[in-house]
Chains A and B, each alone.
Chain A
Amino acid sequence: MTTTFEEEQSEESGDTMENLYIIFFIDGREYGIEIRYLIEIIAFQPVTFVPNLPNYVKGVINLRGKIIPVIDVRLRFGLPTIDYTEFTCILIMNFNNLNAGLIVDGVKEVLKIPRESIEPSPGFEEADMERFVDSIGKSGDTLKILIDLNKFIHEKDVKGIA
């Protein structure tokens, strides 16, 4: 049932971006974030470390003159980091005029998930990740964990931003 990115693009011009999700990998699982918050996807580039930030904020990058903070999604989920690979991407998001980049293991596709295929989260064992989960999207026989970007960006960590 999945459509490719190109198809979606052509559809998009006449259609809305509703129910479209950018699907990415973290630790082998598939996650989705509403595509209307996505500005662009860039290949991983070195991040400038800034002292005294919450550990999951890796630092900042220079995106064509704009300085954008970068969050490592693995660290945000309380998972161990891995070495960045050629698939590692940074998703540049704009959420309520706030820019942030998310480091993910890789990007899979843009996917349309109809509302009727979205169900509430059954709950996960990993509490660190669980609190950012909005719902579960079914697509074929795979499940996508849909992220609540507001919580993901704003909710303070135990030792969050002062």
Chain B
Amino acid sequence: MLGENELSDLVLDSQEILDKAEGILIQLEKDLADKTVNPDKVNSLFRYFHTLKGNAGFFNFNVIVNLAHSAESLLEIVRNDNALLDQKMIQLFMEARDTLYEIFSHLNENKTDTMYKDKADLLIPRLFYIKESLKTETQEPKKEEPRFGIFKKKIVLTDEVPVAEKQPEAVNTELPKETPPTPEKTNSEKSIPEKKLTPIPETTNGNSSTQSTVKRDIRIETDKLDYLLDMIGELVIAESLVTQNPDIKELDLPNFSIQSSYLRKVVRNLQEVSLQLRMITLEGLFNKMERLVRDLAQKTGKKVGLQVTGKETEIDKNALEILTDPLVHIIRNCIDHGLETGAERLAKNKPETGHIKIEATHSGNEVWIIISDDGAGLDRDRILTKAKSRGLLKEGEEESLKDEKIWDFIFQPGFSTSEKVTDISGRGVGLDIVRRNIAKINGDVEVKTQKDKGVSFILKLPLTIAIIEGMVVTFNGVFYIIPTIDVKETLNLAESKIDYIDQDKKVIRFRDQLIPVVSVERLLNHDVSDKNSNLENCLYVIIVEYKNNSLALVFDGIIGNQSVVIKPIPDYLKGTKGFSGCTILGSGNIGMILDIRFFINNYYKDNKESEVAHGQ
């Protein structure tokens, strides 16, 4: 009987393999277009299907076995003669891969693959037919061309390359070289008994991408990992509680100081390492995006070249999960609306093939993911018209608006300037969700555009979502953390003065600007009023800013800047708005992390509404 865990392990393993297969297929397609098929990649693909077949066979999932087997047997032939590979086959392999992926995705609930038999039976004869037709053909000499470096990722999507066109290319005098077995080969074979796979056929060659399948990873439940991180966090606190203990403060303990500073170092290192455990590379995500670009290009009939850089950049695993949807959305927008059709592009003196660039870089404490196209760019007039029609903007107001403010409208809910709604995009749902998702992980989205030059979306993400740089402050005995990214300035009330407009409304003059002064408690609960007496003890004002709106928050103490480990708000308090998390400070005290952007948005929205109410 198949255990629950074994099944879910099989599903996870297989999905991982299929993700890799997808990446390889995309690369092969590019290679095909460049006419430089890398035999290692075909081999890897062969091995992936082979592994899937073996794993599924172990559990008697016959539909999977049959489908994987058909793909494998066709690849067996292609493997021996790479020149036979064509666009049609890649398409077919992709369909097979997608079907397998679908089966595996539902395997946990279904426990069986029989309901997919019909679907698989549509693909198996097609794979078989190509295989048979190839078998009869005489083998032609292969050609080997220098490979492209892995960082040059270019994909030019054209219509299917017919076999007839492909074959003349393959006529070459060079004899096929048998790649000598590489050390990786032994590696990959060594791991096989453990993975319960059937042995890999003799001709298997290892390459860098095979190696990653051999790399020893352990899958750990995130709960366990979080528990470990919690414990290490506690260790850091416990360490300082012991070494800074008031009982020993007055004592002269030279040896103790030396040893305790060593202990501190070890503990800090441990904490650093533990935080890196959560980091994974963007490679998997970017591979998915390559596939998406390919499929969308085919769907829209536009020629799209894609350039991807920075796949090796690491990011927090949780952030990665949240990133997928926003990226998909932005790329859909770029291809569907951003890029013009081939004819339009030619008319504008641009190359017919549109270009999309996805790049990831480090910038200070952030990871930036930049998605840019060289399409038409955002249409200023259309956005303004739309903004007016939706009541976001009054007539004549646009003169004073900066460009950035205008581009910002596209992140409003339900905002789409596209005239045609397609099944890819255009319903105006989405960019607001992109911003909201990114904000969930304390990131931000910016858009830059130039007419007919294209659009760039810049996703600025924190390096880790487990830690935040924050300013620790106190108000009425409660510790609060303000994310440093939102802090504009800290003022001492001994030097600046709060002006009272009335009992309940205060402002502070800051660089010729009047900024409303509020307390955190007031922001959290409208019923609390900031009476003069409440603010008497406040010594500091912190100016926070988001999207050009500012608030001045009063506090009675500033502890200082710290990196704090973000802990989720307890489930029981989930309904409480205004906190983006909480943390345990070095002293063991609990601090609440303030959701400054929420406060600012809310404050300015409320005030706008009350102004409108006054006007009526």
Residues of A within 8 A of B (CB): 48-53, 57, 60-62, 64-69, 97-100, 153, 161-162
Contacts and interface: CB of A to CB of B under 8 A. Distances in A.
Contacts of A65: 230-231, 233-234, 584
Interface in B564-601: 567, 569-573, 575-579, 582, 584, 588-590, 592
Given A48-B589, A50-B478, A52-B525, A67 B572 contact: no
A53 B571 contact: no
Contacts of B478: 48-51
B230 A57 contact: no
B524 A51 contact: yes
Interface string B384-398: 000000000000000
Nearest to B591: A48
Given A60-B582, A65-B234, A48 B573 contact: no
Contacts of A49: 476-478
B520 interface: yes
Given A51-B520, A65-B234, A97 B571 contact: yes
A99 B582 contact: no
B295 to A, nearest CB: 39
Interface string B168-209: 000000000000000000000000000000000000000000
Contacts of B524: 51-52
Interface string B227-267: 00011011000000000000000000000000000000000
25 contacts: A48-B589, A48-B590, A49-B476, A50-B573, A50-B592, A51-B478, A52-B521, A52-B576, A53-B573, A57-B572, A57-B573, A60-B573, A61-B590, A64-B230, A64-B231, A66-B230, A66-B567, A67-B567, A67-B570, A67-B582, A67-B590, A68-B570, A97-B571, A99-B570, A161-B576
A3 B479 CA distance: 44
Contacts of A52: 521, 524-525, 576, 578
Contact of A60 (B233, B575, B590): B590
Interface residues of B, number: 29
A79 B442 CA distance: 41
Nearest to A71: B572
A65 B577 CA distance: 23
Contacts of A48: 478-479, 589-590
Contact of B573 (A61, A64, A97, A161): A161
Contacts of A60: 570, 573, 582, 590
Interface in B255-284: none
B576 A162 contact: yes
Contact of B575 (A97, A153, A162): A162
Most central of A66, A68, A98, A153 by chain B CB within 10 Å: A66
A60 B575 CA distance: 15
Contacts of B569: 67
Nearest to A68: B570
Nearest to A154: B572
Closest 5 CB pairs of A and B: A65-B230, A52-B524, A161-B575, A65-B234, A48-B590
